Homo-oligomer: A and B are copies of this chain.
Amino acid sequence: MSESPSSPAFRPLFAQIHELIVERVMAGEWRHEEPLPSEAEFAKFYNVSQGTVRRAISEMTAQNLVVRFRGKGTFVVRHTKEREHSHFFHLVRNDGAKDLPTSKPLSCRSRRSNKEICQRLDLQAGARVGMLERLRLIRGVPVIFESIVVPEAVFPDFAAAFKENLPNELYPFYETGYGVRVIRAVERLSAVPATARVAEGLNLGQGAPMLEIDRIALAYGDKPVEWRRSLCNTKDYKYLSTLY
Contacts and interface: CB of A to CB of B under 8 A. Distances in A.
A187 B87 contact: no
Contacts of A192: 191, 209, 234
B214 A238 contact: yes
B189 A209 contact: no
B241 A183 contact: no
Contact of A239 (B185, B190, B232, B240): B190
A63 to B, nearest CB: 7
Contact of A87 (B238, B240, B244): B244
A243 interface: yes
Given A63-B244, A64-B244, A244-B63, A188 B238 contact: yes
Copies in the complex: 2
A192 B188 CA distance: 17
Interface string A61-99: 001100000000000000000000001101010000000
A54 to B, nearest CB: 12
Question: Chain A interface mostly helix, strand, loop or mixed?
Answer: strand
Interface residues of A, number: 33
A240 B188 contact: yes
Contact of A191 (B187, B234, B242): B234
Give the residue among A87, A185, A239, A240 with the most B Cβ atoms within 10 A: A239
B244 A183 contact: yes
A240 B187 contact: yes
A142 to B, nearest CB: 16
Contacts of A191: 191-192, 209-212, 232, 234
Given A193-B209, A210-B209, A211-B211, A242 B186 contact: yes
The 9 A-B residue pairs with the shortest CB-CB distance, nearest first, are A190-B234, A209-B209, A191-B209, A188-B238, A191-B191, A189-B239, A191-B211, A185-B243, A187-B241
Given A64-B244, A191-B209, A191-B234, 13 more contacts: A87-B243, A87-B244, A186-B241, A186-B242, A187-B240, A187-B241, A187-B242, A189-B240, A190-B239, A191-B232, A211-B211, A214-B238, A241-B241
